[in-house]
């Protein structure tokens, strides 16, 4: 009886040892998928955010910009959080600095 019991115990131990490796292998695709998402989605988005933040911080009077709403204008006044943008002759609007989407080359406006 002891021989039979020891046979089942050693067999169960062998199954447990082999099963641990398969659990690790089942996590491998999940880790690989996260790494792929990081390099294809997360990292480029962080890079774009960093570039946009630098562009907004460097805005100065006379720059020509496009807002997130699609308005093209020239920066007339720069404040800590807001800009005054001239979008037509004698037509000025105040926008948040972060609402500037892009800087345009001089002469576009």
Q: What is the CATH number of the domain that holds 93?
A: 2.30.30
Question: Are residues 73 and 53 located together in one domain of the fold?
Answer: no
| Whether residues 48 and 65 fall in one domain | no
Confidence of residue 55 (pLDDT cuts 50, 70, 90): very high
Q: pLDDT at residue 90 above 60?
A: yes
pLDDT computed for residue 107 by the predictor = 87
Q: Are residues 5 and 31 in the same domain?
A: yes
The boundaries of the domain holding residue 99 are 61-109
pLDDT digits (tens, 9 = 90+) for 12-42: 555 555 555 678 888 899 999 999 999 999 9
Q: How many domains does the chain have?
A: 2
For residue 94, give the 3-state DSSP assignment. Answer: strand
Q: Rounded CA gap, 24 and 27, in Å?
A: 5
Q: Are residues 11 and 28 in the same domain?
A: yes
The predicted-structure confidence for 60-89, as pLDDT tens digits, reads as follows 999 999 999 999 999 999 999 999 999 999
Burial call 65-74: b when 16+ CB within 10 Å, e when fewer: bbbeeeeebb
């Amino acid at each position: 009886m002891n021989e039979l019991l020891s046979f089942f115990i050693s067999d169960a131990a062998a199954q447990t040892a082999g099963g641990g490796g398969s659990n690790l292998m089942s996590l491998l695709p999940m880790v690989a998928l996260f790494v792929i998402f990081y390099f294809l989605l997360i990292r480029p988005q962080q890079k774009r955010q960093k570039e946009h933040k630098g562009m907004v911080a460097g805005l100065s009077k006379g720059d020509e910009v496009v807002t997130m709403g699609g308005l093209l204008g020239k920066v007339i006044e720069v404040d800590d959080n807001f800009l005054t943008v001239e979008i037509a002759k004698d037509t000025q609007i105040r926008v948040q600095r972060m609402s500037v989407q892009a800087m345009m080359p001089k002469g576009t406006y």
